[in-house]
C-alpha cells in the first residue's frame, strides 16, 4: 500500500531529484488525503503535526485581519507545499488553511519525518534544503506583496 | 547580442503630420473600470481621419486648459478610428480627465512609440504578464493574437492586481477564456475569504505556467518592480532575454524625442520605447525615476 505512494512522491516537483533510498524512507510517513471545497484543513494554533504536498486543487492560507475579517493572503495549488510549522517548535500552525476547491494531497506525519531526519542526517539535510528553498521563495513573494506595488502608479 | 535598441523590430506607424498639434476627439462613452480607473472611448471630430496604431503605442491626451499626459491605447487596432484609453487617476491631469463627460472634446496627439512584437510571435508560445493598469497597453496585443489565434502556439496571460476589485476588463477576460484557446491565470495580493481564485504575487505563477521556455515570446507591463522580478523568473525558466519585451512608462513631456525629459543615456523612452527588448533596457530597469 505504502509502496504505491513512491511514484507519486517522485513525480511531485517538491521531491524532484531526491534519491530513491530517501523516497523509500519518507514514503512510510505519507498518506493520501482529500479535502472537499470549503473544508478546513487546519486552524491557527492547532498542533502542526503534518505538512501537505498538494497534488491537485487549491488551498487558501487565511488570517483574521481586524476590520477586514477573514482574509486570504496566499493560495497554494497543485505541485506546491503547504506548511512548515511541523519543522520548528512549538509545532503549531500560524494561520488557517482551507480547501478552495476539491483538493488531493499527500499528508506527511511531521513526527515520523522528524524522527527519520534525526536518524539519517543525509535525508534531513536534503529535506531541510528543500524547505529552505520554499521558505526563501515565499519570503521573497511576501516582500513583494508587502511593497503593495499596485498601490503606487503602475 | 549587443545591448542596442532594436529599432527595426519595433518600428511602428508614425504620428500624424504635425506631431505637436493635438487633434480634437469627442468622448463617446466613459466607463468606470475600478474605483480609481476609467476608460474613455473617443472618436475623431474629423471623420476622414486615417489614424492607425500598433499594439503598445500611446497617445498624448490633452485636457484643454489643464495639461497633457501620455496614455497607452487600450482598444482593438482593428476598430479604428474608435480609440479607448484606460487611465488611472494619479494627479492633476488624470483627475481633470476623470471629470470629462460624454460629448465633451479633448485633444489627441499620436500614435507614438514602439510596439509589441506580435509579428515575431507566430509559431511560438506567447506569455503575457500584466500587473494592475499594465493590462491596458497589452489589451491591443491580445486582440491581435485572438484575431489570428491559429498562428500562435499556447497563449498564456498572467495577470496580477491588488485585490479582485482592482481587476480590469473582468467581463471581457471571462468571455475570452470561454471563447478562445487562451490560458488566463489571475492572482491578487489579498482577498476576502469569498474569493475563489489565486492569491499571491504574479511572479510566483511563472514557474508553473504552461509554456515552452525555449520557444516563448514574453510581453510584460506593470509596476517596474514587478517587471524586474518577472524578468528574473522568466530568465530562470529559460526564456531568452532577446524574446522578453517590456513597456517602460517613465514620465514624459513632448513624447517625440525633443525635450529630453525621458532621456536616459542614449535612450529616449518616448521615441525608442515604450516597448523595449530586455537587452536594450536592462540598464534602465531598476533605476530611479529619470
Ligand atoms: C508611454 C506611457 C504610457 C502610459 N500609459 C498609461 C495608461 O495606459 N494608463 C494610465 O493610467 N497611465 C499611463 N501612463 C502614466 C500616465 O502618463 C501618468 O499617470 C500621468 O502622466 C500622470 O499625470 P497627472 O497629471 O495625472 O499626474 P501628476 O500630477 O503629473 O503626477 C502625480 C503623481 O504620479 C507620479 N507619476 C506621474 N506619471 C508617472 C509615471 N508615468 N510613472 C510613475 N509615476 C508617475 C508623479 O511622480 C506624481 O507623484 C503612461 C505613461 C507613459 C510614459
Ligand atoms: S518626452 Fe520629450 S524627449 Fe521624450
Range of the domain at A147: 6-153
In a domain, A30, yes or no: yes
**Which of ligand 2's atoms lies nearest the C-alpha of B260?**
3
CB contact under 8 A, A149 and B198: no
pLDDT band at A150 (very low <50, low <70, confident <90, very high): confident
Rounded to the nearest whole angstrom, what is the distance from the C-alpha of residue B254 to the centroid of ligand 2?
Answer: 5
pLDDT at A154: 41
Ligand 1 binding pocket includes B250 (Cβ within 6 Å): yes
Rounded to the nearest whole angstrom, what is the distance from the C-alpha of residue B69 to the centroid of ligand 1?
Answer: 7
Residues of B in contact with A61 (CB under 8 A): 199
Q: Which ligand is nearest to the CA of B58?
A: 1
Residues of A in contact with B198 (CB under 8 A): 58, 75, 77
Strand partners, A68: none
The grid coordinates listed for A89 are 517548535
In a domain, A105, yes or no: yes
Distance CA(B133)–CA(B89), nearest Å, equals 11
ipTM rounded to 2 decimals: 0.83
pLDDT at B170 over 60: yes
Rg of chain B taking only CA atoms, in angstroms: 18
* CATH classification of the domain holding A103: 2.60.120.10
Distance CA(B201)–CA(B164), nearest Å, equals 13
Distance CA(B109)–CA(B151), nearest Å, equals 33
Domains observed in chain B: 18-110 (2.40.30.10), 118-247 (3.40.50.80)
pLDDT band at A148 (very low <50, low <70, confident <90, very high): confident
> Phi and psi dihedrals of B161, rounded to 5?
-135, 175
The grid coordinates listed for B256 are 517625440
pLDDT (average), residues B151-166:
95
Ligand 1 binding pocket includes B175 (Cβ within 6 Å): no
Q: Which ligand is nearest to the CA of B69?
A: 1
The grid coordinates listed for B50 are 486615417
pLDDT at B6 over 50: no
- Structural domain count, chain A: 1
pLDDT band at A68 (very low <50, low <70, confident <90, very high): confident
B2 vs B71, which has greater pLDDT? Answer: B71
Cis status, amide bond into A90, omega within 30 of 0: yes
pLDDT (average), residues A57-80:
90
Mean pLDDT, chain B, as a whole number?
A: 89
- Degrees to nearest 5, angle at CA A12 with A11 and A17: 70
In a domain, A1, yes or no: no
pLDDT at B9: 42
In a domain, A81, yes or no: yes
pLDDT at A64: 85
Distance CA(B191)–CA(B196), nearest Å, equals 9
Rounded to the nearest whole angstrom, what is the distance from the C-alpha of residue B11 to the centroid of ligand 2?
Answer: 17
pLDDT at A153 over 50: no
In a domain, A98, yes or no: yes
pLDDT band at B259 (very low <50, low <70, confident <90, very high): confident
B140 vs B208, which has greater pLDDT? Answer: B140
In a domain, A110, yes or no: yes
Residues of B in contact with A72 (CB under 8 A): 190-193, 195, 199
pLDDT (average), residues A11-40:
94
Would you call A70 an interface residue with chain B, using a CB distance cutoff of 8 Å? yes
Residues A81-137 have pLDDT tens digits of 999 899 889 999 999 999 999 999 999 999 999 999 999 999 999 999 999 999 998
In a domain, A16, yes or no: yes
In a domain, A84, yes or no: yes
pLDDT at A63 over 90: no
Distance CA(B211)–CA(B206), nearest Å, equals 9
Residues B103-144 have pLDDT tens digits of 999 999 999 999 999 999 999 999 999 999 999 999 999 999
Q: CA end-to-end span of chain B, whole Å?
A: 26
Amino acid at each position: 500500500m505504502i509502496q504505491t505512494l513512491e511514484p507519486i512522491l517522485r513525480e511531485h516537483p517538491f521531491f524532484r531529484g531526491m534519491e530513491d533510498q530517501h523516497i523509500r524512507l519518507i514514503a512510510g510517513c505519507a498518506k493520501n488525503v482529500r479535502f472537499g471545497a470549503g473544508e478546513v484543513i487546519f486552524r491557527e494554533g492547532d498542533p502542526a503535526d503534518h505538512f501537505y504536498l498538494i497534488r491537485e486543487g487549491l488551498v487558501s492560507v487565511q488570517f483574521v485581519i481586524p476590520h477586514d475579517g477573514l482574509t486570504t493572503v496566499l493560495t497554494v495549488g497543485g505541485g506546491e507545499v503547504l506548511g512548515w510549522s511541523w519543522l520548528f517548535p512549538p509545532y503549531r500552525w500560524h494561520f488557517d488553511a482551507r480547501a478552495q476547491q476539491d483538493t488531493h494531497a499527500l499528508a506527511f506525519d511531521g513526527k515520523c519525518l522528524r524522527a527519520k531526519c534525526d536518524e539519517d542526517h543525509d535525508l534531513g539535510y536534503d529535506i531541510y534544503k528543500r524547505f529552505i528553498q520554499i521558505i526563501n521563495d515565499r519570503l521573497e513573494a511576501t516582500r513583494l506583496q508587502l511593497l503593495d506595488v499596485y498601490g503606487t502608479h503602475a | 547580442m549587443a545591448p542596442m535598441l532594436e529599432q527595426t523590430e519595433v518600428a511602428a506607424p508614425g504620428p500624424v503630420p504635425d506631431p505637436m498639434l493635438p487633434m480634437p476627439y469627442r468622448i463617446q462613452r466613459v466607463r468606470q473600470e475600478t474605483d480609481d480607473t476609467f476608460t474613455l472611448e473617443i472618436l475623431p471630430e474629423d471623420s476622414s481621419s486615417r489614424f492607425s496604431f500598433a499594439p503598445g503605442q500611446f497617445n498624448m491626451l490633452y485636457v484643454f486648459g489643464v495639461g497633457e499626459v501620455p496614455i497607452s491605447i487600450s482598444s482593438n487596432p482593428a476598430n479604428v478610428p474608435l480609440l479607448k484609453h484606460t487611465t488611472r487617476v494619479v494627479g492633476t491631469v488624470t483627475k481633470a480627465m476623470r471629470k470629462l463627460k460624454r460629448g465633451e472634446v479633448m485633444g489627441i496627439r499620436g500614435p507614438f512609440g514602439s510596439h509589441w512584437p506580435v509579428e515575431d510571435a507566430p509559431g511560438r508560445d506567447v506569455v503575457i504578464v500584466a500587473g494592475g493598469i499594465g493590462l491596458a497597453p497589452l489589451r491591443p496585443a491580445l486582440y491581435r493574437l485572438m484575431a489570428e489565434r491559429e498562428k500562435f502556439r499556447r497563449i498564456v496571460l498572467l495577470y496580477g492586481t491588488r485585490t479582485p476589485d482592482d481587476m480590469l476588463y473582468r467581463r471581457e477576460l471571462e468571455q475570452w477564456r470561454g471563447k478562445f484557446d487562451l490560458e488566463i491565470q489571475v492572482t491578487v495580493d489579498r482577498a476576502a475569504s469569498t474569493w475563489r481564485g489565486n492569491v499571491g504575487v504574479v511572479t510566483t505563477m511563472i514557474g508553473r505556467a504552461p509554456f515552452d521556455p525555449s520557444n516563448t515570446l514574453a510581453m510584460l507591463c506593470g509596476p517596474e518592480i514587478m517587471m524586474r522580478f518577472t524578468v528574473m523568473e522568466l530568465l530562470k525558466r529559460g526564456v531568452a532575454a532577446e524574446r522578453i519585451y517590456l513597456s517602460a512608462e517613465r514620465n514624459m513631456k513632448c513624447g517625440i524625442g525633443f525635450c529630453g525629459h525621458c532621456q536616459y543615456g542614449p535612450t529616449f523612452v518616448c521615441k525608442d520605447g515604450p516597448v523595449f527588448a530586455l537587452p536594450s533596457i536592462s540598464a534602465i530597469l531598476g533605476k530611479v525615476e529619470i
